[in-house]
Structure 1
Amino acid sequence: MRAIWKGSVSFGLVNVPVKVYAATESHDVSFRQVHAKDGGRIRYQRICSLDGEEVPYADIAKGYETEDGEMVILTDEDMAQLPSTSSREIAVEKFVPSDQIDPMLFEKSYYLEPEKSGAKPYALLRQALLDADRMAVVTVALRQRTTVAVLRVRSTDNGDVIVLQTMMWPDEVRTPDFSVETGEVKDAEVKMAHMLVETLAGDFEPSEFEDDYAEAVEALVTAKVEGGEVKKTAATTKTSGEVVDLLAALQRSVAAAKEARGEAPAEEAEEAEEAEEEEAPAKRATAKQSTAQKAPAKKAPAKKAPAKKAAARKTAKKAPAKKKAS
């Protein structure tokens, strides 16, 4: 794992230098929106709702919509004036009983690893939280915004670790706008409910639960791939086709230019070059001098220049690249 934040936990006069790591990662299955006919990806454009024109990123600003539908544009200068902080401190405000924190307030979880110099105070804080069965309510600045969070201890395969869990603000938790009318509940019904709970009672083992949906999707996709049910998208076909066509066009242009100069075809020229490379240096030098008229222009530019110009005029449409090179 890679640390995403470095700072220190401070409570009283004690500071514990720590590194922060993301404790969770999502394995959610994601799909692409495609054209069912050919598998082409669906692209979205940034279209202005007023003039119907596409808006480049450089012209996109932040806007705050008021309750009456008015739009307030906020510039970079406006955003810079907002209160923010870059503090590297996790400040403990108070220690509260663990059962007083509503799990609905929890948002994201992070592991805290102590720096070498903070190993002992880290261990002391961890033990104090365990013994008191309390959580530490803290304030911390993550992504330039102060948020409230808690510190608690979590048991892992590598031992007990202090976890930082950011929390939502109280006004971000919605209150249900409905009530549940149960009517009269009989004692016999309550007793049966208790029996059902006892029948299904047990300890929570996360390993007992699997994401069967993700596994099913993966198996389905694998089966379709093995069965040849794969759409060759236009983008993929076009790209590979362009490469092949470009390569073929270059080969034809080279062959046409050499033929116009009275030289051997490309394959014969390559075989000649390989044969020359296998000979001794002295013999290869002699061979180059004796075959100066057959060698490419780069081997004898002075003698071949007139011929190249004449050939270029005859094959201007076939090999424009060669004409430019001369």
Structure 2
Amino acid sequence: MRAIWKGAVSFGLVSVPVKLYAATESHDVSFRQVHAKDGGRIRYQRVCSLDGEEVAYADIAKGYETEDGEMVILTDDDMAELPSTSSREISVEKFVPSDQIDPMLFEKSYYLEPEKTGAKPYALLRQALIDADRMAVVTVALRQRTTVAVLRVRSTDNGDVIVLQTMMWPDEVRTPDFSVESGEVKPAEAKMATMLVETLAGDFDPAEFEDDYAEAVEALVKTKIEGGEVKRTETSTKTSGEVVDLLAALQRSVDAAKTARGESSSSSSSGDEAPAKKKTAAKKSTSKKAPAKKTTAKKKAAAKKAS
């Protein structure tokens, strides 16, 4: 993993230098929008909705749309005046009971790794969170915006690790605009429901669940590749991995090398090419033998002088 942020956790007079790592990654299946006829990628242009003309990237500004549909243009100078921070501090505001925070507020998760100099205070903070069964509510600046987050301890195969989880702002959590009217629940019905819960009770093991959709997509794609149902476009940069593609690439390389030497490629070879190769080979063998004879003569002359 690669650290995406470096800073320090501060609580009281204690400072813990840490590195921040993304704790999750998406394995969701994604598709490209392509032309069904030839597999070409569909590209989108930046077109103004008013005049219908394509807009250069340099001419695109940020706009804030009001509730009545008016558009307010914000310049770079306007954006520079907005409050932002580049603080590298994770400031602990308070320690709260773990059950007081609604999981719906959680947004993104990050692992905290201590720097070498912060290993001891990191371990102390980790143990304190475990013993108190509390989470630390913190403020932290990520991507120049201050956000609220929590620190909690997560058990992993490599031991207990402190996790930072950013949180939604309260007004970002929607309230349902409906109510559920179920009528009176009879004691016998409630008892039966409780029995059903007890029958299906167990411990959560994420390894028991599989993403069958992603596996089905991979199997389908593999079948199509093996069946030769692959669109090769001019902009393709990846090969299908088939041996025939590798052989074709090697053959093109050989032909290109021969063309560079003035020889005919295999794709345009004729019956007259073989004798030409033999003559060339004969010339090479003759040129190699001549120096050998000269060397032998020199050795005999040297032997006579020595005698």
Quick check: TM above 0.5?
yes
For residue 181 of structure 1, give the secondary structure of its aligned residue in structure 2.
Answer: coil
In structure 2, how many angstroms separate the alpha carbons of the residues matched to 1:173 and 1:143? 22
Correspondence 1:109-120 to 2 at 5 A: 109-120=109-120
How far apart are residue 130 of structure 1 and its match? 0.2
Change (3 A) 1:92 1:227: same
In structure 1, how many angstroms separate the alpha carbons of the residues matched to 2:280 and 2:171? 82
Partner of 1:105: 105
For residue 94 of structure 1, give the secondary structure of its aligned residue in structure 2.
Answer: strand
1:133-186 per-position Cα deviation (integer Å, ceiling 9, x unaligned):
000000000000000000000000000000000000000000010101111111
Change (3 A) 1:279 1:19: farther
In structure 1, how many angstroms separate the alpha carbons of the residues matched to 2:119 and 2:235? 54
Partner of 2:95: 95
Partner of 1:194: 194
Matched, 1:217 2:217: yes
Matched, 1:208 2:208: yes
The percent identity for this pair of structures is 84
Partner of 2:69: 69
Partner of 1:302: none
In structure 2, how many angstroms separate the alpha carbons of the residues matched to 1:236 and 1:16? 48
For residue 127 of structure 1, give the secondary structure of its aligned residue in structure 2.
Answer: helix
Question: What's the RMSD between the two structures over aligned residues?
Answer: 2.9
Change (3 A) 1:192 1:71: same
Partner of 1:161: 161
For residue 111 of structure 2, give the secondary structure of its aligned residue in structure 1.
Answer: strand
1:109-154 per-position Cα deviation (integer Å, ceiling 9, x unaligned):
0000001111010000000000000000000000000000000000
How far apart are residue 76 of structure 1 and its match? 1.1
For residue 87 of structure 1, give the secondary structure of its aligned residue in structure 2.
Answer: coil
Partner of 1:54: 54
What TM-score does the superposition give when structure 1 sets the normalisation length?
0.74
Matched, 1:29 2:29: yes
Partner of 2:7: 7
How far apart are residue 232 of structure 1 and its match? 2.9
| Unaligned 5+ runs, structure 2 | 238-247, 264-272, 292-307
1:187-217 per-position Cα deviation (integer Å, ceiling 9, x unaligned):
1110010000000000000111111111110
How far apart are residue 58 of structure 1 and its match? 1.1
In structure 1, how many angstroms separate the alpha carbons of the residues matched to 2:236 and 2:24? 35
Correspondence 1:266-281 to 2 at 5 A: none
How far apart are residue 279 of structure 1 and its match? 5.9
Change (3 A) 1:132 1:35: same
In structure 1, how many angstroms separate the alpha carbons of the residues matched to 2:123 and 2:236? 55
In structure 1, how many angstroms separate the alpha carbons of the residues matched to 2:10 and 2:235? 55
In structure 2, how many angstroms separate the alpha carbons of the residues matched to 1:41 and 1:189? 56
Partner of 2:40: 40
In structure 1, how many angstroms separate the alpha carbons of the residues matched to 2:170 and 2:280? 81
AA aligned to 1:150 is V
For residue 64 of structure 1, give the secondary structure of its aligned residue in structure 2.
Answer: strand
AA aligned to 1:211 is D
How far apart are residue 233 of structure 1 and its match? 3.1
Partner of 1:16: 16
How far apart are residue 231 of structure 1 and its match? 2.2
For residue 50 of structure 1, give the secondary structure of its aligned residue in structure 2.
Answer: coil
AA aligned to 1:119 is A
AA aligned to 1:70 is E
AA aligned to 2:72 is V
1:14-63 per-position Cα deviation (integer Å, ceiling 9, x unaligned):
00000000000000000011122222211111111111111111111111
